[in-house]
Chain A
Amino acid sequence: EAQVTQNPRYLITVTGKKLTVTCSQNMNHEYMSWYRQDPGLGLRQIYYSMNVEVTDKGDVPEGYKVSRKEKRNFPLILESPSPNQTSLYFCASSSITGSSPLHFGNGTRLTVT
């Protein structure tokens, strides 16, 4: 089954403790992206990647890092999480040929205390 898999689904952590949220897709998609969703603010893009070793900032990249060492994986790294990064996070992927739509993961709810 074609899917985007995020892990973990829920995560509670403390300020300053490094964490990684994983994202994996099995559709051989070139494009992958991370979003955060907060009440009243909709979906905001954090980072995106057009292909392996190619990443770029979205609208809210501060406090986040990403890497794209393999085509299928696009982890989101919070080196020193802060409470303002408490949010619902989504990973998405798509082909960059034609008009391929985005496929989203089921989300990761992160709480930073």
Chain B
Amino acid sequence: DAKTTQPPSMDCAEGRAANLPCNHSTISGNEYVYWYRQIHSQGPQYIIHGLKNNETNEMASLIITEDRKSSTLILPHATLRDTAVYYCIVRVAVRSNNTGKLIFGQGTTLQVKP
């Protein structure tokens, strides 16, 4: 699986949009981009994922560049409860020998400030 690169930390003002970038320049054509977040030391929580098209759900939006080498997670109106570590990973979705090994990296610590 491809490796991802994220900035170690970011700040965001409460009520503003938080835009978290992720580089995945070696992504393969059949790899999805997934985003998770971890609040304190709880288990990581799934946020959103996508393959090529931009995606939106009740939590966030995911923008994937046309060449798929990078993506941005957007939290449209950040709240203090969004303060967490955000992880971007890529993963093959189809059943294959390469779907087991996953690399999470260190993620981005997002601090939402009042």
Q: Residues of A with Cβ closer than 8 Å to B?
A: 4, 31, 33, 35, 37, 40-45, 48-50, 56, 58-59, 88, 90, 92, 96-107, 109
Known: A33-B102, A42-B104, A104-B45. 7 other contacts (CB 8 A): A43-B44, A49-B100, A90-B43, A100-B93, A101-B34, A101-B36, A102-B36
Instruction: Name the A residues within 8 Å of B34 (CB-CB).
Output: 101-102
Q: Are B42 and A106 in contact (CB under 8 A)?
A: yes
Q: Residues of B with Cβ closer than 8 Å to A?
A: 32, 34, 36, 41-46, 49, 51, 87, 93, 95, 99-107
Q: Are A99 and B99 in contact (CB under 8 A)?
A: no
Q: Are A42 and B45 in contact (CB under 8 A)?
A: no
Q: What are 8 sample pairs from A and B whose C-beta atoms fall under 8 A apart?
A: A42-B87, A45-B102, A48-B102, A50-B100, A92-B44, A102-B34, A103-B46, A105-B43
Q: Are B106 and A40 in contact (CB under 8 A)?
A: yes
Instruction: Name the B residues within 8 Å of A105 (CB-CB).
Output: 43
Instruction: Name the B residues within 8 Å of A41 (CB-CB).
Output: 106
Known: A43-B44, A90-B43, A105-B43. A96 touches B99 (CB 8 A): yes
Instruction: Name the B residues within 8 Å of A59 (CB-CB).
Output: 101, 103
